[in-house]
Structure 1
Amino acid sequence: MDGTSLTPEQEKINALRQLLPEAFSEGKIDWEKLKATLGENINFANERYVLNWAGKSEAFKVMQMPTTKTLVPAKDESINFDETENIFIEGENLEVLKVLQKSYFGKVKMIYIDPPYNTGNDSFIYPDKFSETKADYEKRVGDKDEEGYMTKDGMFKKNSKENGQYHSNWLNMMMPRLYLAKNLLRQDGVIFVSIDDNEVHNLRLLMNEIFGEENFVAQFIWEKRITRENRRVISTRHDYILCYTKSTVDAERILGLLPMDNDAIMRYKNPDNDSRGDWTSVPAIAQAGHGTKSQFYTLKTPAGREVDPPSGSCWRYTRSKMNEAIADNRIWFGNDGNGVPRIKKFLNEGQQGLTPETLWWAKDVGTNDTAKRELTKLFDGIAVFETPKPSSLIKRILQLSQTKDQLCLDFFSGTSPLPDAIMNLNKEDGGDRKYICVQLPELTDEKSEAYKAGYATIADISKERIRRAGKKIGEEIQVEIAKTEAEITKLQAELPTDETKTEIENLKAKVTQLSNQDLGFKVLKLEDSNFKQWQQIEGKDADALAEQMKLFIDPVAESATIENMVYELLLKSGKGLNSTIEKTENFFRINGNELVLLFEKASQEIIDSVIAEKPVKVIALDKLFTGNDQLKTNTVLQMKDAGVEFKTI
């Protein structure tokens, strides 16, 4: 409510909305739709099947704006910074995605995000001023208060349902991020996006446009609550998770099978004492429309009864293959040998697992309440977040994305359920999954339990959750290692056999795998470049131009540090954040000889030593050659002769 009275004009519009809701779009009259509704014969402008909205072209421009931002390490907030391969980035996710484009293009196997649902109460970043300049936009998304925290007033815009561009604003926020995220996926990569009824229809169309309708995999339905919400007209008990692949290559098995639960395993029996172990059976028939002539025949059971496939069906196997299967005791005719034939499927043969279904029940993957209890327990009884996702839900997604050594990305990290799920699943199945999480340092409400407990931002909660989850899992691993080592000691005390030797080796491998679990994470933060940026000077102001030229004698920003420059240049050279960085007396060596960085001094002797490393690329500060043009000229020629790419800043 804005406290103003209803105008006659608004009263008429409200009456029209009641009568002709189809003539409205985002709360405003769509004049073309109104004319068509009233029977006027009109041609719609640009009539075609397409998702369009206010500001779409401007959102593309925002996406295409290059960034000068960089990532700087925060080692004091990290765990095992130099050894871990897990990454947590604090910063605005659109800018972070731009920073990651060169280094992580085509490297990510799985993306999971839980973006704002656009409920009418969300505040998020979107370019609501389509005429604003790049500088204005960058200033707005970089606004910080006196303590260095991003300000909600400058950065966030509340998107209420009364907003005239309610859906458009959300689409303008989502579209550029999804486009950039797609670039980071491997060809066999897959993305999962949580959403609810407010925007699932628009998200489906948007993802069809970005990923291709042919790459749609599923719209999973998650039972997020098990209790009835009596305060609402309809009690909504589910959310959605949309799943798309980057490419249709091997789309049949783009998602893996789910692990078999106890109920599924219990269905395997061995009533005929088959030496191959427990089995279950499946029908030996198939649809007739898919069959060949050789699959239509009369089959005789061991008891002598003749059996034909039912009408509209054929046998799954040809006669010759069926006879082979019968001879190998792979066809079950019942205890009396006179039943309808069924094919035996053995538990220990083939790929074990369950085909995933679109309905995900609370008993299998948890609920919002499960997640809240899980997080509150981890934070010693403090309810630090109201709507987290359960790590068991993320675990299900990780299991579907198949590989155990994948790189995963979440750029709406929230309370970081992804790292929690990854660490737990790696412990369980010996995987080596890694993650990159991105979270905006959004201020917590001063009245919240999180704020009172000292967590000033959502990013602070996110990082602390990873620390606490890692500590908990580390303690569980130590218990498991001690238990396994006790089993090894017990077996070693027995008389050695081939079987015990194999078991001991397997247990030792388990101890090694558990000991090598990566429970750490690197923290990096989005910051301005370590190098001065050229400012466009309007008009012909010679004095201003001369002043700027003077500033660029030394291109290094006053706030820059050597370490931060190393990370900026390795990123801008397309190297990952887990690159090996070696400091020699005169230069930095990145990933062996892939990249050499010169920051402090240059001489002929140093240049010769750099070339002796046979690097692929060398970057040096131009100021190192000030007053020695001959050295710079010789360096350029020497690098060219040696086949080394040479750049100066």
Structure 2
Amino acid sequence: MTSPDLTEANIDRLAELFPNVITEKLDADGNPKKAVDFDLLRQELSDHVVEGPQERYRLDWPGKREAAFAANAPIAKTLRPIGEESVDFDNTKNLFIEGDNLEALKLLQESYLGKVKLIYIDPPYNTGNDFVYDDDYAETADEYLLRSGQTDHNGAKLVANLESNGRFHSDWLSMMYPRLKLARNLLSDDGVLVISIDDNESANLRKIGDEILGAGNFVAQLAVQVNPRGRHLDRFVAKTHESLMVFVRNATADSIAGVAKEGRMADEYQRSDERGRHRLLGLRNRNQAFNPQTRPNLYYPLFVAPSTGRVSTTQNAEFSVEVLPDAPDGTQTCWTWGRERVNSDNALLLAEQTGKEWRIYRKDYLHGADGEVAKTLVKSLWLDPEFNNDYGRKSVKDLFGEAVMDFPKSPQLMKRIIEIAAEPGSTVLDFFAGSSSMAHAVMLANAADGGRRKFIMVQLDEIPDPKSVAAKEGYSSIAALSRERIRRAGVKVIEEAGLGAGGLDVGFRALKVDTTNLTDVLRTPDETEQQALSGLGDSVKPDRSGEDLLFQVLLDWGLELTMPISVEKLEGHEVYLVEDDALIACFDSEVSPELVRAIAKREPLRAVFRDSGFASDDARINAEQIFHEISPATDVKAI
């Protein structure tokens, strides 16, 4: 009898935007209710680290505020194309990005916001010997820009995180937190996040996952047997499995598909009728929590036609044998189906007699009504031998002749994740790509079902151990090895697909995280000498190409980085045309009025020029006027 609680409604709206700021508090009656952590909300809306802790239910660690700040702080970076490292650059829809994944995720925010169906990551495990990313983004926005811009041209550093370090868990959490926050933004509404993890940080990962994606969007922690023998350092228990932590972007969406009933599971379907192969499952409900008071609609007798085994809820001359849902030990249980479903799906039920007892079964078919292999819910325990690390190592050895990576994930394990979480036309992101087992799996999945899935791989240009096989084989970085793995895997997938390989995309556009293409030419009059003015006219760095500038423009406008690009000569100028005139760009050092008019006549959605290409401010203003007259809908920009 009251108007709506607008405070609760506002909290719900904030939870959509910033799920990590939602916490719990006790109301006047001592009952827990949702509340806003205003300290965290201020941090989300601030360009500096906000102080002011208070007691609350959440996971805390030294450096958490700095980690939240790192997720939001801007960077002076861009993505530059590497044509010579790419495969089928002009046609592919796949991306391989070399560089720090925190910076890559920031650069992808506009172009791929809400567009990624599956994000899988296999982050560094916090074992005391592995490496973590040393972000060190705890100061001000200006310091952050300096640190992540011109001063650190190699990207993020790698440092050992030894157990003797007092921040052993904190450093790992601070590395993961901002990356997961940014990853969440890229997930589609029905998107899925899957993270490989071992025991060392699984509890903490679950907590920050709950905070960032919302506790209600946690699905399961799957166990995958990756090493049937255990490890030689194991004590007390042979650790044969790793976990897959699964979250969804929106628990109300249909995010995860079932697993096809095939392989060894299909062997269980030994019976057959006019509809097809099936198996029999008992109709008796084994849930011991049910009783006649809580589930009265599931307690009733069924009647059997002795000559045919048909089942009915009604007794008559044909259906004469009464069967009650009795458990073998004499205790009464109940049926799985209610009366209405028994009557409507009667053809799916069958009674069989063993001695004097009748048992009621339901038919579970291998194929659906459409002829496709039926699916069952994903199980929480994965024991397929093709999922273990030995198979991952073998898949790399088959491509390179030797195992150039120590612990690559099995592409068959990756393929299973794709099958349950990424439809044939969706985008898959892995921002801890390693040897790019996920890219390999995307190509395998597309070859298997004719899909058009696209992948985005991100890998730091980490230098391999000088004693490693990869280093001895001449690979200068893990990123270089990863690209080569995709090339070789693509060739093999095409060979194995044979005639079915038509249209299969096994290429990728190689990009690299680098400093911005633009120079800092902003000056105040009193700090600028007359002779320095001539050097401040061009805002583009001298070593940057037109293609470099084009990709920065794509990022600035939030356009996908795999859009088709062609180059034409127009009025004597080199012009880039993107996605059927969605964008036309010319970055020549001189821009003529004739070129401007020719581009305007094509009525592109967007047009961009190099600012220094105009002889004067008047020339640039005239160009804008030409578009206003000929193509007023065109968005015109000068960089």
Report the TM range for the smaller structure's normalisation: 0.7 to 0.9
Distance 1:319 1:168, change over 3 A: closer
What is the TM-score when the length of structure 2 is the normalising length? 0.80
- Please give the alpha-carbon distance, in whole angstroms, between the structure 2 residues aligned to 1:372 and 1:403: 27
Partners of 2:137 and 2:115 in 1: how far apart? 34
CA–CA distance in structure 2, aligned partners of residues 522 and 127 of structure 1: 27
Instruction: Please state how far the C-alpha of 1:121 moved relative to its aligned partner.
Output: 1.4
Of 568, 582, 589, the match for 1:594: 582
Larger strand proportion of the pair: 2
2:532 and 2:361 mapped to 1: Cα distance? 83
Q: CA deviation at 1:637?
A: 3.6
- Bigger proportion of residues as helix: 1
Residue matched to 2:563: 579
Structure 1 residue corresponding to 2:429, chosen from 399, 409, 417: 409
Residue type matched to 1:376 in 2? K
CA distance in 2, matches of 1:47, 1:244: 27
Label 1:72 to 1:118 Cα distance change in 2 as closer, same or farther (>3 A). same
Q: How many residues align?
A: 553
Distance 1:395 1:516, change over 3 A: same
Q: How far apart are residue 367 of structure 1 and its match?
A: 1.8
Separation (CA, whole Å) in 2 of partners of 1:519 and 1:468: 10
Deviation string 1:188-233 (CA, Å, 9 cap, x unpaired) is 0001111111111111111111111100011111222111445442
Partners of 2:325 and 2:460 in 1: CA distance: 62
Q: How big is the shift at 1:451?
A: 0.9
Which residue number in structure 2 is paired with residue 632 of structure 1? 620
- Indicate yes or no: 2:198 matched with 1:196: yes
Q: Match for residue 612 of structure 2?
A: 623
Q: Please list, as runs of the form range in 1=range in 2, the aligned pairs for 1:284-295 lying within 5 A after superposition.
A: 284-286=283-285, 287=290, 295=298
Unaligned runs of 5+ in 2: 1-51, 307-319
Q: How do 1:312-323 and structure 2 match up within 5 A?
A: 313-319=333-339, 321-323=341-343
Q: Distance in 2 between matches of 1:533 and 1:614?
A: 32
In the other structure, the counterpart of 2:602 is 613
Alignment-derived partner of residue 214 in structure 1: 216
C-alpha displacement of 1:135: 4.8
Aligned to 2:185: 183
Q: Give the direction of change, closer, same or farther, for the CA distance of 1:614–1:312 in structure 2 (3 Å limit).
A: farther
For the pair 1:238 / 2:241, whether they are aligned, the reply is yes
Secondary structure of residue in 1 paired with 2:259 = coil
Residues 627 and 349 (structure 1 numbering): CA distance in 2 closer, same or farther, change over 3 Å?
closer
C-alpha contact (below 8 Å) 2:153/2:514 kept by paired residues: no
Of the candidates 340, 344, 348, which is equivalent to residue 330 of structure 1? Answer: 348
Task: Give secondary structure in 2 for the equivalent of 1:340.
Answer: strand
**Corresponding position of 1:357:** 379
Structure 2 counterpart of 1:370, one-letter code: Y
The residue number in structure 2 matching 1:142 is: 152
| Distance of aligned partners of 1:593 and 1:176 in 2 relative to their CA distance in 1, 3 Å threshold | same
For residues 280-305 of structure 1, what are the alpha-carbon distances to aligned partners after superposition, in whole Å with 9 as ceiling and x for unaligned? 22333455579876654332211232
Give a deviation string over 1:440-492, Cα, whole Å, max 9, x none.
Answer: 111112222211111111111111111111122222122xx3xxxxxxxxxxx
Code of the aligned partner of 2:576:
F
Deviations 1:326-357 (A, max 9, x none): 4xx32211168972222223323257123211
Counterpart CA distance in 1 for 2:180 and 2:152 is 21
Q: What are the equivalent positions in structure 2 for 1:438-477 lying under 5 Å apart? A: 438-477=458-497
- Which residue identity does 2:325 align to in structure 1? P
Provide closer, same or farther for how the CA distance between residues 317 and 177 of structure 1 changes in structure 2, counting only shifts above 3 A: closer
The alignment-based identity, stated in percent, is 33
- Do the aligned partners of 1:128 and 1:169 also contact (CA within 8 Å) in 2? no
Deviation at 1:107, TM superposition (A): 0.9
The whole-number CA distance in structure 1 between the counterparts of 2:209 and 2:578 is 37
Q: Secondary structure of the equivalent of 1:80?
A: coil
Partner of 2:365: 346
Contact preservation (8 Å) 1:71, 1:567: yes
Summarize the Cα distance change of 1:529–1:546 in structure 2 as closer, same or farther, 3 Å threshold: farther
CA deviations over 1:597-649 (Å, ceiling 9, x no partner)? 232243333333222222222222222332361x4333334434613222222
CA contact (8 A) 2:92 2:505 kept: yes
Question: Which AA in structure 2 matches 1:635?
Answer: A
Q: How does 1:78-227 map to 2 (within 5 A)?
A: 78-128=86-136, 130-131=138-139, 133-135=143-145, 137-138=147-148, 142-144=152-154, 155-227=157-229
CA contact (8 A) 2:591 2:613 kept: yes
2:325 is paired with a residue whose SS is coil
Greater Cα shift, 335-344 or 610-619: 335-344
Report the Cα distance in structure 2 between the residues aligned to 1:266 and 1:465, rounded to whole angstroms.
35
Distance in 2 (CA, whole Å) between partners of 1:412 and 1:634 is 48
Alignment match of 2:59 (pick from 43, 48, 51): 51
Gaps of 5+ in 1: 1-43, 145-149, 482-510
Q: Deviations over 1:68-101 (max 9, x none)?
A: 2222222222221111111111111111111111
Cα distance between partner residues in 1 of 2:158 and 2:297: 67
CA-CA distance at 1:257 after TM superposition: 1.2
Match of 1:564 among 532, 545, 548: 548
Paired with 1:62 and 1:321, the residues of 2 have a C-alpha distance of: 55
Change (3 A) 1:466 1:402: closer
